[in-house]
Amino acid sequence: MEPDNLTRVSEFLLLGLSEEPELQPCIFGLFLSMYLITLFGNLLIILAVSSDLRLHTPMYFFLSNLSLVDICFTSTTIPKMLVNIQTQSKVITYEGCITQIYFFILFSVLDDFLLTVMAYDRFVAICHPLHYTGIINPRLCGLLVLVSWIVSALVSLLESIMLMSLSFCTDLEIPHFTCELNQMIKLACSDTFLTNMVMYFAVVLLGGVPLAGILYSYSKIVSSIHGMSSAQGKYKAFSTCASHLLVVSLFYSTSLGVYLSSAATHTSQSSAVASVLYSVVTPMLNPFIYSLRNKDIKRALQRFSGMVTIKGTIVLRLKIFP
C-alpha cells in the first residue's frame, strides 16, 4: 500500500445492523428494551444475593460476579449504539473504538472464565461433597475471581496494543454496531499477519481450554449422578447445576455461531446479527435462567421485594405524618 493512502485515523463510522432509516426506531426500541432488561435483571440478582445471608455461598458469589460482568459487557457497546441512532450519527472516535474493544474483550473473556469456575464449583460440590467447604473456601473463591480479572485484563490489553500498532486507510466504515476486533483488522492497510495470529491463538486458547475444563467437570458430574442410588439424590444433584449448564450452552452456542456464520457466509452483516445473540441476548437471558430454575434465588427475590415494599411504605408514612 502506498504511503499516500495512509492517514492518521481520528474516527470510524459504525454502520450498525441496518442503514434503512425506517428501521432505526424499531432497532432503537428493541435494543433499549433488551438493555434495560439486562441491566435490571442482573442488578436484581446481585441485590438478592447480597441481601440474603443464606446465599453467601461460593456458588452465588460466582453468580453475582457473572451478573456484574454481564451488566458491564452490554454497557460497553449498547449505550453508544443507542446514542448514535438517536443522534443520527455513525461516528465513533479512534480512542473510543480502542476503548470499546478493550472492554469488550475483557468482559467476554471474564464471562468465559467465570462460567468455567462455576463448573469447577459444581464439580467439587457433587463429586466431592465431604471436602467441599475445605476446597471451595472464601480465599480460593476470591483468588479465582481475581486471577480471572487479571488474565482477562492482560489479554485485552495485548489485543488492544496489537490493534494500535496497525495503520488504517481512508476506508473507515465498520459494518457492525460495535468496534469488533476482526472487522477492525480487516480495515488495516499494514501487515496484519501477527495481529491475526495473536487473535486466533487467543480465541483457541481462551475458548478451548475453559470449554475443555467445563466438559471435563460435567463428565465427572454426570458419572457421579449416574452412580447415585437415590432418585431424589439424582434430581437434587442435577437441579443444582441445570441452570449453569443451560447458561454455558447458550454462551458457547451463540459465541461459536458468530464465528461459524462469519466463516460460512463471508458477510459482515450476518456476523453482526449473530453477535447480537452473543453479546446482547445471552446476558439478558441469564437472570431469567437462574431465577426461574432456582428456588433459592426466587425466595431471595421475593424477600428483597418485600423489604423494598416495607421500606417504601415506611418512608411514605413518614412523609405524610411527619
pLDDT in tens, 137-171: 999 999 999 999 999 999 999 999 999 998 887 77
In the chain the domains, ranked by start, together with CATH numbers, are: 8-289 (1.20.1070.10)
Write the CA distances from 123 to 199, 261, 321, integer angstroms. Answer: 31, 33, 55
Q: What global pTM score does this model have?
A: 0.87
* pLDDT on residue 55: 83
Q: Specify the amino acid at residue 42.
A: N
Residue for grid cell 449504539: 81
For strand 91-93 and strand 11-14, is the pairing parallel, antiparallel, or unpaired? antiparallel
Could you report the per-residue pLDDT of 69-127, keeping only the tens digit for each?
999 999 999 999 999 999 988 899 999 999 999 999 999 999 999 999 999 999 999 99
**Chain position carrying cell 487473535:** 199
- Can you tell me the distance from the alpha carbon of 184 to that of 153, in angstroms, rounded to the nearest whole number? 20
pLDDT score of 293: 63
pLDDT of residue 260: 60
Phi, psi of 18 (to 5 degrees): -155, 145
Q: Packing angle between helix 231-265 and helix 268-276, nearest 10 degrees? A: 160
The alpha helices in 165-267, defined as continuous H runs, are: 181-187, 193-226, 231-265
Check if the beta carbon of residue 66 is closer than 8 Å to that of residue 114.
yes
> What residue ranges of the chain have pLDDT lower than 70?
1-8, 257-271, 292-293, 304-322
- If 0-12 CB within 10 Å is exposed, 13-18 middle and 19+ buried, where does residue 248 land? buried
Residue type at position 186: K
